[in-house]
Amino acid sequence: MTRSQLVLMSVITALVVLVVAVSGSLAEHSLREREMAKFTRSLERRAMLVRELTSGLPFDVAQRDALDAIADRAQRAAAARVTLITSSGAVVGDSDVPLGKLSEVESHADRPEVRAALEGRVGSSTRRSDTVGRPLLYLAIPDALGVGVVRLAVDVSDIDGAVAELRHSLIVAGAIGIAAAIAVSFGLSWLTLRPLREMRRAADSIAGGDLGSRLTARGIDELGGISTAINQMAEQIRERIEETTSEKDQLQAVLNGMVEGVLVVDIAGRVLLLNDRLREFYQIPNEVFGCPVLEVVRDAEVDALLGEAAATDHAVSRKITTIRADRRTFRVHAVRFPAGSGSRTGTVAVFHDITEVARLEAVRRDFVSNASHELRTPVAVIRGYAETLLDPAELGADDRQSALETIHRHAIRLSNLVADLLDLSAIEGREVDSEPSRVDVAELAARLVGDSKQRIEEQGLELELAAPAPAWAWARRQAVEQTLSNLLDNACSYTDAGGRIRVSVAAEGDAVMLQVADSGIGISPEDQHRIFERFYRVDASRSRAVGGTGLGLSIVKHLVHSMGGRIDVESQLGRGSTFSVRLPAAPSDRG
């Protein structure tokens, strides 16, 4: 039961109680009045009768015997106590008092009804009788003969009985009235409050987020108007929320589609928004709305940059390298928004991933310094010897010959270097003109081994080929040739006389495996992953002595990758090395 129902029921009950009480007391009063008047009238008539009975007898103490006897008789006739009183107030006859005791009865002159009768009027009074101990109605009339008073008294407790009966009936009627009032008020309030309860339920569920909840339409009265208004309000809220959600989704979709990471924080440095890219950059898996930026990004530099941007009207930009293992480098631009206004609400930061750019920059720097270093030596040597040759007086014929040979050797070295650099830049720049086609690597290896066999064996090395069956790769013929030739050259260069070189070709599932194994000096494990870098040489002087440029394996790696293949090396110091090239096999249906 609601509070308002309780109030309504209490008010109605109180009203019923009030009405019953007021009307009950009025009814009781008028009943008592009417009964009393009836009693009085009947008593007066009976008193007159008694007066007639006593007419002729002087009310005198001397006549007490006769008067008392008359009083007793009159009592039977009048069905009331009869008292005969002299003009002085002495009782000379009383139906309720034995004759012998009459003399002891006190004077009745001060009794109100007696006083009135003595003054010649009919007097009446209701009071509790000391003699009989019950409420009595006394009525006194003056004696016709002018002396004495005839007084009659009747018990009026009957009237009280009648009034009590009436009161009892009123109480029963009141109780029924109250019960009916409670039931009616409960029903009425339930009916009246039902639409309000429905409205409240709908309003509660709308407030609780159920925007689909609607009130049933009800008429055009006030409640109907409120229902319509609530329904319209819910509809508008739903539309607004849908709009906002779709705008937010669009914004998030745009942000997530960006290559840059985006982070928006509020004025207190708590995260308002971020995109998927930033999650990826900083490996943020969870929902972080409202978390402090330092907790989310775990980078004091980012936190400091946002703080700086929040304190100025200008955009702040900085290069930040993460402290995590992947060490990514970002160019971060941060600006507070709305820019330039006094009411700052936050800061937005955009993270551009420049890791690759930074890496390429470093590679370029290294390359330029390595290339210049490599070029400087032959150029300096050539220049030195050329200057010496310009002054022929100082040189003997042998020296001149030796100087010319040195110049020749370094010129070849220079030309090798330039040729390798051009090759490398062509491969890196994807300037390869030929398209891949079916290449029988076994046949190609056999031809190349055949061509180099004599030269290699002259160096005191044994060359062996194991290419039993055709092995068709999807590759560029020239690139495979150059790859094998470089690997073979290296095997010769880094294997001492008496060693063995073995070239093998075999089809392996969806790949063609080309291997060049030697029993040469081998490569230490820490150098193995670096030998594919440009200009990297384990032993620079040995490389130079054999005409190496430090670019051969770098070219091989790029060629193999450009054909969709891969290259690996296995090597043990002093035991030899095996370079394995896997190339994609040519599908049988490709021509």
The residues of the shown chain that bind ligand ADP, judged by CB under 6 A, are 490-491, 493-494, 518, 520-523, 531, 536-539, 543, 548-554, 577
Strand 81-85 vs strand 91-94: parallel, antiparallel, or unpaired? Answer: antiparallel
Shortest Å distance, C-beta 456 to ligand ADP:
13
As a whole number of angstroms, the distance between CA 570 and CA 556 comes to 16
Residue of 449, 571, 436 whose CA lies nearest to 512: 436
> How close are the terminal C-alpha atoms of the chain, in Å?
90
Q: How far is the CB of 270 from ligand ADP (least distance, A)?
A: 53
- Least separation in angstroms between CB 484 and ligand ADP: 13
Q: Least distance from C-beta 543 to ligand ADP, angstroms?
A: 3
Helix and strand counts by DSSP (H, E) for the chain: 15, 17
Token digits for 292?
């402090």
Q: Which of 165, 167, 148 is nearest to 23 (CA)?
A: 167
480, 439 in Cβ contact below 8 A?
yes
DSSP 8-class letter at 81:
E
Nearest approach, Cβ of 564 to ligand ADP (angstroms)?
22
Least distance to ligand ADP, CB of residue 533, Å: 8
Spatial contact of 135 and 126, defined as CB atoms under 8 Å apart: yes
C-beta of 299 vs 518, nearer to ligand ADP:
518
d(CA 60, CA 148): 8
* Sheet of strand 511-518, all strands in order from the earlier edge strand to the far edge: 462-466, 500-508, 511-518, 576-584, 566-572
* Token code pair at residue 576: 């030899």
Q: Which is nearer to ligand ADP, 52 or 464 (CB)?
A: 464
Q: Which is nearer to ligand ADP, 91 or 553 (CB)?
A: 553
Residue 50 burial (10 A CB sphere; 0-12, 13-18, 19+): buried
Residue 378 CA to residue 31 CA, distance in Å, equals: 146
State how far the Cα of 62 lies from the Cα of 90, in Å rounded to an integer.
Answer: 12
Is 93 or 522 the residue whose CB approaches ligand ADP more closely?
522
Rounded to a whole number of angstroms, the minimum distance from the CB of residue 547 to ligand ADP is 8
Query: Considering the complex, what minimum distance in angstroms separates the CB of residue 355 from ligand ADP?
Result: 26
CB burial class (10 A; 0-12, 13-18, 19+) of residue 68?
buried
Beta-carbon contacts of 212 under 8 Å, excluding residues fewer than 6 positions away, are 238
Q: Which residue, 114 or 501, is less far from ligand ADP as judged by CB? A: 501
Cα(224)–Cα(419) distance, integer angstroms: 92
Cβ distance to ligand ADP smaller for residue 381 or 551? 551
Q: How far is the CB of 380 from ligand ADP (least distance, A)?
A: 20
**Closer residue to ligand ADP, CB minimum distance, 5 or 416:** 416
Element (H, E) at 443: helix 441-458
DSSP three-state, residue 179? helix
Which of 95, 490 has the CB closer to ligand ADP? Answer: 490
Minimum CB distance to ligand ADP smaller for 170 or for 555: 555
Provide, rounded to whole angstroms, the least separation between the CB of residue 582 and ligand ADP.
18
- Whichever of 452 and 549 has its CB closer to ligand ADP, that residue is 549
